[in-house]
Amino acid sequence: MLSPARISTAAGSALVLAVSGLVLGVGAGPAQASTCSQSRLPLPDSSCTPGAYNLDVTQSTINSTICVSGWTSTVRPPTSYTNPLKVQGIADYGYSDTNTADYEEDHLVPLELGGAPRDPNNLWPEPHYGSPTAYTKDGVETKLKNAVCDGRITLSAARSAIKTNWTTALNVTGIG
């Protein structure tokens, strides 16, 4: 589940969140101590960043969406939207390094595979440091998209593999 602090930031104002019949007041303001775990790095905490799909991208629409050169630029959210999420995510993950330049506000399910562009459940501050890094993930995303567009794997298989563990996605799908 997305942390209340990230939901608050994404909404841009105070809101009320209903969870299993319990109503919790969530106000905008500074994040509490880390609410998301770094223990799975380079993967995100799945309770904070479960991933989400763009409903306009399906197996039957890939030739007019993800397989069209430049398509992701038509759905990519502006930094004016993602930067505040990045700042909040750095706090939520409890990173000691708070320099935003050291992170990419990344889509767990990449836009190249029809990830939801603006859903905070699909965005997290992925470090540029460590091994592997955000830069490594970019190459995995491209290889998976090419395999989907070439018909070697299905969109569903690629999405499932990258959402579960991007570091093993190429091997799991048999294209690595």
Q: In this predicted structure, what is the pLDDT of residue 82?
A: 97
Q: Which two tokens stand for residue 175?
A: 């294209």
Which position has the token pair 């935003």? 100
Picking from 71, 84, 61, 49, the residue whose alpha carbon sits closest to that of residue 162 is 49
Q: In this predicted structure, what is the pLDDT of residue 23?
A: 29
- Go through the chain and tell me how many residues it has: 176
Q: In this predicted structure, what is the pLDDT of residue 145?
A: 98
Report the alpha-carbon distance of residue 29 to residue 105 in Å, rounded: 20
The amino acid at 85: L
Please report the sign of the dihedral spanned by the C-alpha atoms of residue 29, residue 30, residue 35, residue 36.
positive
Tell me what the pLDDT averaged over the chain comes to.
85
Q: In this predicted structure, what is the pLDDT of residue 133?
A: 87
Higher pLDDT, 129 or 52: 52
Percent of the chain with pLDDT over 90: 76
CB 66 within 8 A of CB 112: yes
Q: In this predicted structure, what is the pLDDT of residue 33?
A: 55
pTM, two decimals, is: 0.81
* Average pLDDT value for residue range 48-61: 97
pLDDT tens profile 106-156: 999 999 999 999 999 999 999 999 889 888 999 999 999 999 999 999 999
Q: Which two tokens stand for residue 97?
A: 């390094």
Higher pLDDT, 176 or 76: 76
Report the alpha-carbon distance of residue 70 to residue 78 in Å, rounded: 15
Strands (E), 15-170: 15-19, 22-26, 103-107, 123-127
Picking from 76, 74, 141, 152, the residue whose alpha carbon sits closest to that of residue 113 is 141
Where does the pLDDT of residue 7 fall: very low under 50, low under 70, confident under 90, or very high at 90 and above?
Answer: very low
